[in-house]
Structure 1
Amino acid sequence: MLRTTAAAIALTLAAGPALAQDGAQLFNMQCKMCHGGSPMGPALGGVAGGPVAAKAFAYSPGLKNKGGTWTDANLDAFLKAPSAFAPGTKMLISVPADGNRKAIIEYLKTLK
């Protein structure tokens, strides 16, 4: 079931730049189910510009060992290919469309 849901989300995210107009809408459609109070992912308020793997969450060793800060470039690389950015990460969903990643990152910057 989780794999089916992940595949459906990946297909939706790949739909293209038309969705990139609204980062909040993209976040609510694609990210909120895991990052909106679920134990599946950490809350993302204040994540942009903050240290990697610093929220209260059981991160994978790959992400814990990454270190550094969630810059736009790091967020973009992680959203584009989570397992390439941090091998062994628990995040299964990627955001293949450049415009969608940019919109989500801009939205994350508004979360405090």
Structure 2
Amino acid sequence: MFRIAAAVPVLVFSLAAAPALAADGQQLFNMQCKLCHTGGPMGPSLSGVAGARIASKDFAYSPALKAKEGTWTDANLDAFLKAPSTFAPGTRMMLNVPSDENREAIVAFLKTLK
């Protein structure tokens, strides 16, 4: 019984942390990503990107991203944000997000965009 009661605060904390993480991610997105990712010629809108097939939005993607298979999972988004040219050699995205915490927050925010 004690073990279950001790685990409850951790679960509650984890659930409460998700909205705060997404809010931090929104702030980071607005500072680092929004300028290019508004659906214009620089980068695609990222609305609905989480869970979508890679390079599936209406945008002129690089051959490097078009060649990628799979979907934008948390792990793929993290890997791309960490090192775009390692994830997809030849991609046109030149900016990266070196901080693990910042990438986690941005991915959490991207998952809120529908």
- Bigger Cα displacement from structure 2, 84-93 vs 30-39: 30-39
1:78 aligns with 2:80: yes
Relative contact order, higher structure (CA 8 A, sep 6+): 1
Residue 56 (structure 1) aligned to one of 58, 61, 77: 58
List per-residue Cα deviations over 1:13-36 (Å, max 9, x = no partner). Answer: xxxxxxx97000000000000002
Q: How many equivalent pairs are there? A: 93
Q: TM-score, normalised by structure 1?
A: 0.80
Cα distance, 1:67 vs structure 2: 1.3
Runs (4+) off by over 3 Å: none
Which structure has the bigger radius of gyration? 2
- Residue 38 of structure 1 aligns with which residue? 40
Segments of structure 1 that go 5 or more residues without pairing to the other structure are: 1-19
1:65 aligns with 2:78: no
Between the two proteins, what is the percent identity of the paired residues?
Answer: 72
- Residue 106 of structure 1 aligns with which residue? 108
Segments of structure 2 that go 5 or more residues without pairing to the other structure are: 1-21
Do the aligned partners of 2:23 and 2:109 also contact (CA within 8 Å) in 1?
no
List per-residue Cα deviations over 1:34-56 (Å, max 9, x = no partner). Answer: 00243100000000011000001
Give me the CA root mean square deviation: 1.3
Q: TM-score, normalised by structure 2?
A: 0.78
